[in-house]
Amino acid sequence: MATTIESQTTPPANGPPNPIRPRSLSWWLKKVVTAGLVFALGLLLIVAIGAAQRLGWIRSGGGGAVSNAAAAGNQVFTCSMHPQIRQPAPGRCPICGMELVVAAGGSANLDELSVKIDTAQRRLANIETKVVQSAPVTAQIQSIGAIAIDESRMATISSYISGRIERLFADYTGVEVAKGDHLAVVYSPQLYSVQVEYLEARKSLTSMTSNALEIVRQTQVKLVDSARHRLVELGMTPDQIEALHDSSEAQSRLTIYAAMGGTVTDKLLVEGDYVTAGQPIYRIANLSTVWLMLELFPEDASRIRFGQRVRAEIQSLPGEPFEGRVAFIDPTVDPKKRTVGVRVEFLNDDRRLRPGDYAAATISIAVGPLGESYDEGLAGKWISPMHPQVIRDAPGECPICGMQLVPTSRYGYSEHPVEQPASLFVPRSAVLLAGNNSVVYVEDEPGRFEIRAVTLGPILRDRAIILNGLKEGELVATAGNFLIDSQMQLAGKPSLIDPTRAIAAQGARNTPLTFPRIHVTPIAGQTGEQLEQLFAAYIAIQKALADDKQPSETDAKTLHTLATDLAQAAELDDVARNQLTVIATHSEHLHHLSLSKVRLEAFRPISHAILTLATQVRGTNASSTLYHMFCPMVKGGAGDWLQDADTLRNPYWGNEMLTCGELIQRFPLQGHTQPTRPVPPAKEEN
């Protein structure tokens, strides 16, 4: 068959060529099927390669080199979205397909409280650090208000009689008048008749002879006094009555004078109007002082007090600050606006502050570590209870209202100048908050960030006060700290979500307590005597523990009673009272505990509180020097205590290790001293 086909298609040797026949359908089907199979195989190969890359089996673009480098560095790769995925080589997440990243810290030899961020990662994450600082801190409360007239310096000029206004001297609103200036003339027939009655009564009294009966004379004197009193009731001044007496001519017109100087703010009548007794004619305001009316949130209003200094910038006078003082704080909260009204008094002798103008106010509050407020300028001063701008060094009268000045201590200010204590603070952005947890990340070595749980004090607009957990001079992350926290989470280490392990590790402090400032203030009187008795009771308990003896019931009760009473003493500041509260709390059942529990559960917190107290106050009759001791071998750390001698007698170990420890600091009986172990110097900011 094949030979036959070949013979049919082969052209003759010398003849013309055979004509070209069209391809058969089977031939075309064969070509199409072959091409389709090739295309399908290629597509299948591409899909297989993509799936292998997705599953991390292969990696494009030099994957072998990266894998070798990863293996050489013993790195661990994980998914940012699914941290449970951990592989020894790079690739993609089998759950979401994201590119795997190097797990934080890899297999570097870091402890469980820190993470290592290399330079490239730090630059990409824009991580910034700032130095922990210790300095007096001032909070600022800002608000917008309007200038208003001082209501205590306003007067209404009214007519005492009914009649017709014949003349108005202050004939337009805004005119300045002085006290005693004539303002209006009122025509009144009633006034005329009373003047005639007065003159006739005086005339009758004068014409009486010496032979007149005494009772008649007394009756006439009463008639004269009654008529004179009616003239006073009708608005005549003593000078006008005296002029009437001298002229002996009744007048039907009464001149009304200004009772105070100021600016006419309202002119209520015009010439020719009829008035009734008591009807207002003018309203006058003395604008030498004005008010700024503010609305503050209750939490802000609770931090200010009478006499607080306020700076304001008036809308019509931009760039020019004015200074006033708080004159009134509303004792109630507005039920609709949920704000507290605050009134600030400003001196306005040059009349530049106009009622109705708007002002932006800033109230600066010096804040202590626990939120106390200080104003050194009002310590030991005398202030007007109506006009807080009037501040004097000695008692006297207010030149504005005539009230007696009162001591500023009535409003919570110290009787003696008080130096504002330094507060440890960090930028607000350095603190990560979640529920009751507050953490920061400290860069103790280049690139090494350690989680640190902190105890917060007041949180201000741009900074947060730290009560515990940081030291001055340390570096904290202020930007990129959320990325650091996420790396801690990926590595399975303590983070903002659960910092309990970090808190437990921080609790085991193995260094002595440090005090950035030691200034002992002598306290006189009964409070000072009780302080010395408190220290003596503590020393007795310390000596008993050093001798492996249970504290006596007498010493324990004495310590508890004195601490409870002193926690209410007005002579002590809030910091000292807080320490005394700690002592009272842990000493109540001191003599009922076992020796081991006394040492670690009660005596240790009492010692920390009384050490802090010894850096601040002593009684004026103090005679024994107190010494700060520390033992690094105490279980759980924080082995500080106080002694009245420089020979070591360890109350935590007793005779087992009686002399274990070291002398840290000798506290002065009064005055200032430098700490033996100062906090580290500040580092340069990154």
Q: Kindly state the helix (H) or strand (E) to which residue 147 belongs, with its residue range.
A: strand 137-149
What's the pLDDT at 61?
43
What's the pLDDT at 67?
39
Helices 604-614, 574-587: axis angle to 10 degrees equals: 150
The whole-number average pLDDT for the span 372-383 is: 71
Model confidence at 1, in pLDDT bands (50, 70, 90)?
Answer: very low
Asked if the model's pLDDT at residue 17 lies above 70, the reply is: no
Average pLDDT value over all residues in the chain: 81
CATH of the domain at 493: 2.40.420.20
Q: How many domains does the chain have?
A: 5
Asked if the model's pLDDT at residue 638 lies above 90, the reply is: no
Q: Which of 612, 615, 602, 614 is closest to 651 using CA atoms?
A: 602
Q: Which amino acid is located at 365 in the chain?
A: I
Q: 3-state class of 538 per DSSP?
A: helix
pLDDT digits (tens, 9 = 90+) for 389-410: 888 888 888 887 788 888 887 7
Q: Which residue's entry shows tokens 């931090």?
A: 303
Same domain, 395 and 346: yes
Same domain, 300 and 426: no
Residue where a domain stops, chosen among 231, 257, 284: 284
Asked if the model's pLDDT at residue 478 lies above 90, the reply is: yes
Angle (CA) 223-227-233 rounded to 5° is 145
Any residues with CB less than 8 A from the CB of 90 and at least 6 apart, and which? 56, 59, 63, 66, 67, 70, 77, 99, 100
pLDDT digits (tens, 9 = 90+) for 433-465: 887 888 999 998 888 899 988 888 888 888 888
Asked if the model's pLDDT at residue 40 lies above 50, the reply is: yes
| Residue 566 within any structural domain of the chain | yes
> SS in 3 state form for 244-274?
HHHHCCCCCEEEEECCCCEEEEEECCCCCCE
Q: 3-state class of 627 per DSSP?
A: strand
Cα gap 636→599, rounded to integer Å: 12
For residues 423 and 435, is the Cβ–Cβ distance under 8 A?
no
Q: 3-state class of 329 per DSSP?
A: strand
- Region of poorest pLDDT, from 417-421, 507-511, 541-545, 600-604: 507-511
pLDDT digits (tens, 9 = 90+) for 108-160: 334 578 888 888 878 888 899 999 998 888 878 899 999 999 888 888 888 88
What's the pLDDT at 590?
82
Higher per-residue confidence, 190 vs 418 = 190
| Residue 9 within any structural domain of the chain | no
Asked if the model's pLDDT at residue 621 lies above 50, the reply is: yes
For residues 127 and 430, is the Cβ–Cβ distance under 8 A?
no
Radius of gyration for the chain, computed over Cα atoms and rounded to the nearest angstrom: 45
Residue where a domain stops, chosen among 284, 317, 349: 284
Asked if the model's pLDDT at residue 285 lies above 60, the reply is: yes
Any residues with CB less than 8 A from the CB of 542 and at least 6 apart, and which? 603, 607, 641, 642, 643, 649, 651
The whole-number average pLDDT for the span 423-435 is: 89
Q: Which residue's entry shows tokens 């105070």?
A: 260
Task: Output DSSP code: residue 84.
Answer: T
What's the pLDDT at 242?
85
Cα gap 209→222, rounded to integer Å: 17
CATH of the domain at 634: 1.20.120
What's the pLDDT at 99?
80
Assigned token pair, 502: 């970090």
Asked if the model's pLDDT at residue 8 lies above 50, the reply is: no
Same domain, 546 and 617: yes
Q: Which of 101, 55, 63, 107 is closest to 82 using CA atoms?
A: 101
| Residue 244 within any structural domain of the chain | yes
| Residue 201 within any structural domain of the chain | yes
The whole-number average pLDDT for the span 240-264 is: 86
| Residue 28 within any structural domain of the chain | no
Same domain, 173 and 280: yes
Beta bridge partners of 521: 617
Task: Output DSSP code: residue 104.
Answer: T
CATH of the domain at 374: 2.40.30.170
Q: 3-state class of 651 per DSSP?
A: coil
In Å, how far are 147, 166, 286, 287, 319 from 261, measured between CA atoms?
20, 23, 6, 10, 31
Angle (CA) 242-244-246 rounded to 5° is 70
For residues 388 and 150, is the Cβ–Cβ distance under 8 A?
no
The whole-number average pLDDT for the span 263-276 is: 90
What's the pLDDT at 681?
38
Asked if the model's pLDDT at residue 678 lies above 70, the reply is: no
Model confidence at 343, in pLDDT bands (50, 70, 90)?
Answer: very high
Same domain, 552 and 663: yes
Q: How far is CA 81 from the centre of its chain?
A: 38
Beta bridge partners of 518: 673
Cα gap 326→384, rounded to integer Å: 12
Strands 626-630 and 518-523: unpaired
Same domain, 278 and 294: no
| Residue 18 within any structural domain of the chain | no
Cα gap 243→24, rounded to integer Å: 146
Same domain, 294 and 378: yes
Task: Output DSSP code: residue 600.
Answer: I
Cα gap 87→103, rounded to integer Å: 10
| Residue 513 within any structural domain of the chain | no
- The phi-psi region of residue 351 (left if phi > 0; otherwise alpha if psi is between -120 and 50; otherwise beta) is left
The whole-number average pLDDT for the span 22-44 is: 73
Same domain, 317 and 368: yes
Asked if the model's pLDDT at residue 374 lies above 70, the reply is: no
The whole-number average pLDDT for the span 408-420 is: 71
For residues 182 and 255, is the Cβ–Cβ distance under 8 A?
yes
The backbone torsions φ and ψ at residue 451, rounded to the nearest 5 degrees and listed phi first, read -70, 140
Higher per-residue confidence, 589 vs 301 = 301
In Å, how far are 429, 448, 452 from 122, measured between CA atoms?
17, 11, 19
In Å, how far are 228, 237, 250, 279 from 240, measured between CA atoms?
11, 5, 11, 21
What's the pLDDT at 536?
92
Higher per-residue confidence, 547 vs 512 = 547
Q: Which of 31, 32, 11 is closest to 21 using CA atoms?
A: 11
Asked if the model's pLDDT at residue 646 lies above 50, the reply is: yes
The whole-number average pLDDT for the span 65-86 is: 56
Cα gap 160→180, rounded to integer Å: 17
pLDDT digits (tens, 9 = 90+) for 513-539: 888 778 888 888 889 899 999 999 999
- DSSP of 544-556, one letter per residue? HHHTT-PPPHHHH
Any residues with CB less than 8 A from the CB of 483 and at least 6 apart, and which? 125, 127
Asked if the model's pLDDT at residue 507 lies above 60, the reply is: no
Same domain, 244 and 157: yes
For residues 660 and 653, is the Cβ–Cβ distance under 8 A?
yes
Asked if the model's pLDDT at residue 357 lies above 90, the reply is: yes
The whole-number average pLDDT for the span 195-212 is: 79
Any residues with CB less than 8 A from the CB of 626 and at least 6 apart, and which? 535, 614, 642, 643, 644, 666, 667
What's the pLDDT at 53?
58
pTM to 2 decimal places: 0.50
Cα gap 225→527, rounded to integer Å: 63
Residue where a domain stops, chosen among 411, 432, 456: 411
Any residues with CB less than 8 A from the CB of 96 and at least 6 apart, and which? 79, 81, 82
Any residues with CB less than 8 A from the CB of 619 and at least 6 apart, and which? 522, 523, 524, 527, 528, 529, 530, 531, 532
Portion of the chain with pLDDT greater than 90, in percent: 20
Same domain, 661 and 568: yes
| Residue 111 within any structural domain of the chain | no
Domain encompassing residue 477 = 125-136+421-507
Cα gap 513→612, rounded to integer Å: 9
Any residues with CB less than 8 A from the CB of 162 and at least 6 apart, and which? 188, 190, 274, 275, 276, 277
Same domain, 390 and 437: no
Q: 3-state class of 151 per DSSP?
A: helix
Same domain, 426 and 398: no
Asked if the model's pLDDT at residue 685 lies above 60, the reply is: no
Any residues with CB less than 8 A from the CB of 148 and at least 6 apart, and which? 290, 291, 292, 293, 355, 356
